[in-house]
Amino acid sequence: MSSGSPRSGAGRIIAGRYLLLRRLGSGGMGHVWLAHDQKLACEVALKEIVFRDPAEAGNEREARVARARAEARHAAGLRGHPHVVTVHDVLEHEGLPWIVMEYVAGAVDLRELVTRRGPLAPAECARVGLAVLDALTAGHERGVMHRDVKPANILLAPDRAGSPYGRVLLTDYGISVQPDGGETRYTRASVLVGTAGYLAPERASGGTPTPAADLFSLGCTLYFGVEGRGPFERESHLAALTAAVMEEPLAPVRAGALEPVLHGLLAKDPELRMTAQEAEAALSGLVTPHVEAFERTRTDPGSPSPWETPPAPTAGPDGSGPVTATPGVTAPGARRRRRSPALRAVAACGLGLVLALGGVWYALADRAGGGTARPYGEAVGLGKPLADGDCVLADWPGGTRFAGTPRLSLDPTCRDQAPDGQVVAFAEAASPDEARKLGPVRCEELTRELRDRLADVRSHAVVPSGAGFEAAGRRTACLVLGAHGPLYGPLGERRRFGTPFADTATMQKRDCLDVRSNREARLVPCGGRYDQQVLGFTRLGADVTLAEARTSSDAACAREVAPRDYGFDPSVYEAGSWTSDGPWKSGTHVVVCTVRRQNGGTMEGTEP
């Protein structure tokens, strides 16, 4: 049964002004529509509050209208904040409340993005978290609690620079509350406000909304972003609520350097929970690592990581195993002892002997093996270190991409064997341990700019093994790989002007194209004449065939990546598109969206 009213379809005009174009999504409160503001000649988003049955409409109408007004008031109070969806107005039409909001073109919510593309990298998730935290803090400073922070309420959209997910926005203040504002709470006592699995324990137990409760929900959201599942994900809402109150989060496996932040935000006791200031500092450290982390000299292999200080293992009291020792805290059963100078001298001599013997062993072992130790270990299989620009083929264990360690081989031509990706950067390290701990995070940062210009890629760090650390040049190789399939050629500045594209996978934002036919485009410099310029990307439905895409992709790009949003005069320019076999073989159905002149003329320089 449809959850909307019979007259709420596309083509309807609301309040004599807003023409409904298409439904953007639906939620517990109603529907969100793309609408055309006939007065200002622009597109907006309209949130329609829907009553699901006549009895609810009769009993709850006043509360729903008041709640819509409260949402508009709270969100309007944050108008202009870079990470909050702007609310323009709240109105009533035929007795029902509607909220007029900013339309965010090309937006996808975090839940949908992770479902489609897989979990985010820790550094990327930290970037999203930092933006949402900024929005929450702005609300908290006004006394407004969001109360429903979750992946579906975080939008990621293209920014002005063209990054597809560069803009991060918090939306849906529909159940927000200002506890000290004297306003009526329009929620029945029998209804628990929030989303199971993202609700703080104190809220699930009936406590008052607080900033700390929003931070717990943010922690659950970031956990989902980096892990691909919620920390208290269970078979039912009741089980999820119970888990949030009584159980510890599921152990993260992908969080990496983000794990301490998740641990701090998900503390059961709000008094012990990480504060907004602490979370901001920790997330900022992940998004923009300290300079000294990258400039650490090789003579200081014991320096701590900028994001975590690894605990020092000490012998347990019964000699059975290590006990984690915290700096400044004596482990249970252990005693602090001052060693005499003589004892220290003996220890130093013994250590020197061990190191000397180890060096002899290493030299003999390397000579016995002919100096051919694999730099990245047996699993990766490469006999020589990767070089900048190397194109690779990746054979993933079990055939699942980005699951486990891939076995790599080279495609010397970067084209003959449909390479999966390319080496685009290196992350240096002072020790094998540092490479193992920080290599993946640094690769995420080093490849971010390139990845943001491509449609469907991910970063992958090829970390040197302990024995192969020196052979690998003391550095981690940073790859950019196709997220769901091959890339079919070189990337970024490694492409040559004049070369035809083998597939749309290597087209990137702001590329300028020389179009030879509707089947062939070549990369050319943007300083001269060209036929089209790449603006961004969109995806078509799973049921759309490639043949259908070739006739409908222009219209899809005109809707989702409209040239006018990038400053192009709609009376002169129009949307174009490119499709290829690759995205349909992988099931991603990515379309490259371009801009071109309506009369077919060439473009030049920095148009518009």
Pair 585, 485: CB distance under 8 Å:
yes
How many of the other CB atoms lie within 10 Å of CB of 415? 14
Half-sphere exposure of 333 (CA within 13 A, CB side): 10
The answer to whether the bond into 608 is cis (omega within 30° of 0) is yes
From CA 495, how far away is CA 571, in angstroms rounded? 33
Grouping H, G, I as helix, E, B as strand and the rest as coil, residue 281 is helix
pLDDT of res. 81:
84
What pLDDT band is residue 51 in, cutting at 50, 70 and 90? low
pLDDT at 461 over 50: yes
pLDDT at 299 over 50: no
Q: At what angle do helices 211-227 and 110-117 cross, to 10 degrees?
A: 20
Highest mean pLDDT among 31-35, 102-106, 258-262, 488-492: 258-262
Q: Could you tell me the pTM of the whole model?
A: 0.48
pLDDT at 197 over 60: yes
Q: Collect all residues with Cβ–Cβ distance below 8 Å to 267 and sequence separation of at least 6.
A: 216, 273, 274
Domain spanning 108-287 has what CATH number?
Answer: 1.10.510.10
Beta strands in 269-320 (DSSP E): 312-315
pLDDT of res. 182:
38
Strand partners, 515: 521
pLDDT of res. 188:
35
pLDDT at 55 over 60: no
pLDDT at 357 over 90: no
Computed over every residue of the chain, the mean pLDDT equals 78
Which of the two residues, 435 and 350, has the higher pLDDT score? Answer: 435
Q: Annotated binding site: which residue ranges? A: 47
Highest mean pLDDT among 77-86, 156-165, 183-192, 591-600: 591-600
Strand ranges across the sheet with 532-539: 520-524, 512-517, 532-539, 590-597, 573-578
With 0-12 / 13-18 / 19 or more C-beta atoms within 10 angstroms meaning exposed / middle / buried, residue 238 is exposed
pLDDT of res. 163:
77
Give the mean model confidence (pLDDT) for residues 213-220. 96
What pLDDT band is residue 504 in, cutting at 50, 70 and 90? very high
The 10s digit of each residue's pLDDT in 236-282 is 888 888 888 899 998 899 999 999 999 999 999 999 999 999 999 99
Six-digit token pair at 298? 């090789």
The 10s digit of each residue's pLDDT in 305-338 is 222 333 333 333 333 333 333 223 223 333 333 3
Query: Quick one: which of 3, 2, 38, 39 has its CA closest to 20?
Result: 38
From CA 212, how far away is CA 568, in angstroms rounded? 44
pLDDT of res. 185:
34
The 10s digit of each residue's pLDDT in 366-379 is 333 334 578 999 99
What's at 71, amino acid-wise? E
Structural domain boundaries of the chain?
Answer: 13-102, 108-287, 391-482, 497-604
Pair 105, 184: CB distance under 8 Å:
no
Which of the two residues, 313 and 119, has the higher pLDDT score? Answer: 119
Which of the two residues, 359 and 307, has the higher pLDDT score? Answer: 359
Query: Quick one: which of 480, 459, 462 has its CA closest to 472?
Result: 462
Query: Quick one: which of 98, 118, 102 has its CA closest to 110?
Result: 118
pLDDT at 60 over 60: no
Give the mean model confidence (pLDDT) for residues 127-136. 95
Grouping H, G, I as helix, E, B as strand and the rest as coil, residue 245 is helix
Is residue 388 among the annotated active site residues? no
pLDDT of res. 117:
85
Strand partners, 594: 534, 576
Selected catalytic residue, list 134, 148, 420, 511: 148
What pLDDT band is residue 109 in, cutting at 50, 70 and 90? very high
CATH architecture of the domain with range 13-102: 2-Layer Sandwich (3.30)
pLDDT of res. 164:
81
Q: Collect all residues with Cβ–Cβ distance below 8 Å to 116 and sequence separation of at least 6.
A: 108, 539, 588
Q: Annotated binding site for ATP: which residue ranges? A: 47
Least confident stretch, 100-114, 315-329, 474-488, 503-517: 315-329
pLDDT of res. 300:
28
Q: What is the 3-state secondary structure (H, E, C) of 378-444?
A: CCCCCCCCCCCCCEEEEECHHHCCCCCCCEEEECCCCCCCCCCEEEEEEEECCCHHHHHHHHHHHHH
Cα 593 to Cα 220, 561, 567, distances in angstroms: 34, 7, 15
What pLDDT band is residue 4 in, cutting at 50, 70 and 90? very low
Beta strands in 492-597 (DSSP E): 512-517, 520-524, 529-530, 532-539, 573-578, 590-597
The 10s digit of each residue's pLDDT in 154-186 is 999 988 777 788 899 998 765 444 444 333 333
The 10s digit of each residue's pLDDT in 72-82 is 666 666 777 88
pLDDT of res. 303:
27
Q: At what angle do helices 432-453 and 122-141 cross, to 10 degrees?
A: 70
pLDDT of res. 80:
72
